[in-house]
Chains A and B, each alone.
Chain A
Amino acid sequence: MTTDPAARLTGLVRALRGHGLRIGPAETVDAAAVLDVLGFADREQMRAGLAAALLRSDGQRAVFDAAFDLFFPLGVGTLEAARHVEPQDDAPRFGRPDPARDDLRERIAAALAADDRAALAALAGEAVESFGRYGTGSAPGSDGWSAHQALGRLAPETLLARILAALREGREAADLSDRVLADEIRRRIQDFRAMVAGEARRRVAELRGTERIAERAVTPAADRIDFLAAGPDQLAELRRTVHPLARKLATRLAARRRKAAHGQIDLRRTLRRSLSTGGVPLRPAYRLRRPARPELVLLCDVSGSVAGFADFTMLLVQAMSEQFSKVRVFAFVNRTAEVTALLARGDTDPARLAARILGEAKVMGYHGNSDYGSALGEFAERYLDAVGPRTSVLILGDARNNRRDPNLDALRRIAGRARRVHWLNPEQPALWPTGDSAALAYAGVVEMHSCRNARRLGELIARLLPV
């Protein structure tokens, strides 16, 4: 990698742009001015300064941090602290004693207990150096550094009990803050895992070129996580964005509603008013409109493949419930059941929502596969009175029907009664005509929109819902 700071900075900017951050030349110039003022002496100052010049919202922070660590690494090659360490062979030693591993675990536990971040950073370097290397001696291009392998060997989460015992030892009756100690240690372990991951990324970047790694290894910002590709961690992060997103959408809808309330001039009333001022229309009268809040019916596929998407959307709608005069939520896999009550405010644990719906509502018949045709049919049979001329219906799902009858007729009946029906599909449009998807057939009946991440969902909700 180049040592020229200007090239590094532009490389960083390019990588960030590649992840969807909008950074103009003016910001790049600002960032250069920042480096000029701060110098290179203090890395955390540089990080804060560049973030101030380049970022525009907090959601971009994780992407920035990962990219910053790649382009302005802590060092090159093996960290000084890890230099004395002998790389270990990467074959697992089942049942055999492993003194190097035990020693490192011991020191990691001590650093975690003391919450010594500097020591932990050095230990992360050491962990990657000793246990993260794979493919040495094989063909060039197939070797590298793996955080997964290092963490698998070290298993830092199994240190929890030991650290807790050590911290509690020798203290008499602890106060309440002790109850949160385990959570704290867990968070520290999480941080340590992230450090190891960052360190492995840095080493791989040296091997393969920073730009390529920055393209692939940096995880996207929460609102760009693909619903269908999200893992449990990412879904949890996604859920944390529900409330801020709901608030933002609510203000946007409220503003639109306010604007729409300022009607046009009511000519008749204005003229009548002008009689008292000798025919001069001093006070114009406006035609008052009283826009009703929309009613919303949500029809969600909660089967395994798209559950994350439905789950997130339900939470969002629940958080925004004040924006609608009435919200009813129906879930289905191959049978349809109303879950509005399960979503009711106050007794929802987002992490368990999907499980509760699957457990408590009758959404599955004899098998566990999605069947849009019978689900829509059942909805049209049993719950059609939920839909009226003021109702907007949102259908969530990938329309993968396992080659069963799509039952377009049921959808037509729903569309015929509703004010509007929109189908949000978490798959990209290129996949709609493939495999067992009935998306194109349904798209012929109602509007279908591709909705792959939280940002897109926010845009769609703001655009599609009537004022």
Chain B
Amino acid sequence: MNGDGTGFFTSVADAARQLAATGYLASTAVATTVFLADRLGKPLLVEGPAGVGKTELAKALAEIGRARLVRLQCYEGIDEARALYEWNHAKQLLRITAGRDESWDDARTDIFGEEFLLTRPLLTAIRGDEPTVLLIDEMDKADVEVEALLLEVLSDFQVTVPELGTITASRRPFVLLTSNATRELSEALRRRCLFLHLDYPDAELERRIVRLKVPGLDETLAASLVRVVGALRAMELRKAPSVAETIDWARTLLALGADTLDEAVVQDTLGVILKHQDDVRKATRKLTVA
């Protein structure tokens, strides 16, 4: 399998370096799995809480490979026509009415040609010659049937269109699937992927992320903020704050011109990182009654 990779990276360290250059600071686990997915040519299934940078990772990869990012956003009820391809019926009808005098055989072969094919994300990603990153977002939202559809694409990088035959990728896309684990994905799908659980970063990494995304924020304030967020995650909240929320909070503090994290500031801004009233109440109790 080793020759089939996408060839974005030469080593784990290289992966970490290139990701950092695009503004994505990666932990060892992330850099390692991304490098392996690249080298082994396997799809990468990324699971984890919302807002830790699953989709961002795909964007960063596309930037690194100077690749086109093809995104398939899954939802309940998505089907073959939306994921793979469909025929342009309107255009086909026009074609038939335009050539009323020709024989049936001519017309039939004609209207199932390339010209009338509407490629959807999966087929688009397979067909191109340029480097491609295929992001299949929120896989767990789609129905089980769609997974079966993906199996052919993910293991052999090919798609079968009955009227045209089998279309094989001339150049392997880098495939990244994300899931929030609302539904158990099938064994067959998981077996074809490398698995990465993308968790909240450790304090050190998160501080660097905050510094990178919100450069104007005072360094000690950034450090305090990351520590408070870490403590909130350790509490049993209904929705723990994720990295996206940490960054939002940092931006808010910067906008308010806060220079220390005192009680008043926290009470005014806790709503930025906590999304449930229960959680806000619980956190306030924790942070103010020490």
Contact = CB atoms under 8 A, between A and B. Distances in A.
Interface in A235-261: 239-240, 243-244, 247-248, 251-252
Contacts of A184: 227, 230-231
A52 B195 contact: yes
B194 A48 contact: no
Contacts of A34: 36, 40
Contacts of A53: 36, 194-195
A446 to B, nearest CB: 29
B236 A240 contact: yes
Interface stretch (B93-101, B160-168, B256-264): B256-264
B255 to A, nearest CB: 18
B205 to A, nearest CB: 13
Given A177-B225, A248-B184, A61 B36 contact: no
A244 B32 contact: no
B196 interface: yes
The DSSP consensus for interface residues of chain B is helix
Contacts of B48: 58
Q: Which of B1, B29, B195 has the most CB of A within 10 A?
A: B195
Given A24-B191, A49-B32, A350-B236, A180 B228 contact: yes
B39 A37 contact: yes
- Interface-centre pick from A48, A49, A247 (highest chain B CB count, 10 A): A48
Interface in B212-268: 223-225, 227-228, 230-231, 234, 236, 238, 260-263, 266
The 10 closest A-B pairs by CB, nearest first: A180-B231, A177-B224, A48-B29, A48-B32, A58-B197, A179-B290, A52-B194, A52-B33, A177-B227, A175-B261
Interface residues of B, number: 46
A179 B224 CA distance: 10
Interface string B160-199: 0000000000000000000001111001001100111101
A89 interface: no
B182 A247 contact: yes
B47 A44 contact: no
B287 interface: yes
A48 B47 contact: no
Given A42-B12, A176-B261, A346-B278, A48 B191 contact: no
Given A183-B231, A248-B182, A56 B40 contact: no
Nearest to B185: A56
Contact of A45 (B12, B44, B228, B236): B12
A239 B235 CA distance: 12
B2 interface: yes
Given A175-B261, A184-B227, A243-B238, A52 B196 contact: yes
B22 interface: no
A55 interface: yes
Contacts of B278: 346
B47 A57 contact: yes
Nearest to B228: A177
Interface string A110-126: 00000000000000000
Contacts of A350: 236
Interface string A46-80: 00110111011110010000000000000000000
22 contacts: A30-B40, A33-B2, A33-B40, A37-B39, A48-B28, A48-B33, A49-B32, A53-B36, A56-B190, A58-B199, A61-B197, A175-B261, A176-B261, A177-B223, A177-B227, A180-B286, A183-B231, A184-B230, A248-B183, A248-B184, A251-B182, A252-B183
* Most chain B CB inside 10 Å of its own CB: which residue of A24, A36, A51: A51
B42 interface: yes
Contact of B234 (A51, A57, A181, A183): A183
Contact of B181 (A36, A51, A52, A248): A248
Contacts of B32: 38, 44-45, 48-49, 52
Interface in B6-43: 12, 28-29, 32-33, 36-37, 39-40, 42
Interface in B141-172: none
Interface of B: 1-2, 12, 28-29, 32-33, 36-37, 39-40, 42, 44, 47-48, 181-184, 187, 190-191, 194-197, 199, 223-225, 227-228, 230-231, 234, 236, 238, 260-263, 266, 278, 286-287, 290
A26 B29 CA distance: 22
Contact of A51 (B42, B195, B228): B195
A280 B18 CA distance: 63
B150 to A, nearest CB: 16
A176 B224 contact: yes
A49 B33 contact: yes
A442 B13 CA distance: 63
A22 interface: yes
B263 A176 contact: yes
A53 B45 CA distance: 11
Contacts of A52: 32-33, 36-37, 44, 194-196
Contacts of B44: 52
A48 B29 CA distance: 5
Contacts of A36: 2
A368 to B, nearest CB: 29
A378 interface: no
A206 interface: no
Nearest to B77: A258
A33 B1 contact: yes
Interface string A13-44: 00000000010101100100110111000101
A51 B193 CA distance: 12
A184 B184 CA distance: 33
A45 B231 contact: no
A180 B231 CA distance: 6
B207 to A, nearest CB: 12
Nearest to B194: A52
A187 interface: yes
Given A45-B28, A175-B260, A55 B183 contact: no
Given A58-B197, A175-B224, A37 B40 contact: yes
Given A180-B227, A180-B230, A37 B36 contact: yes
A178 B261 CA distance: 10
Contacts of B234: 183, 187
Nearest to A182: B290
A244 B190 contact: no
Contacts of B223: 177
Contacts of A175: 224, 260-262
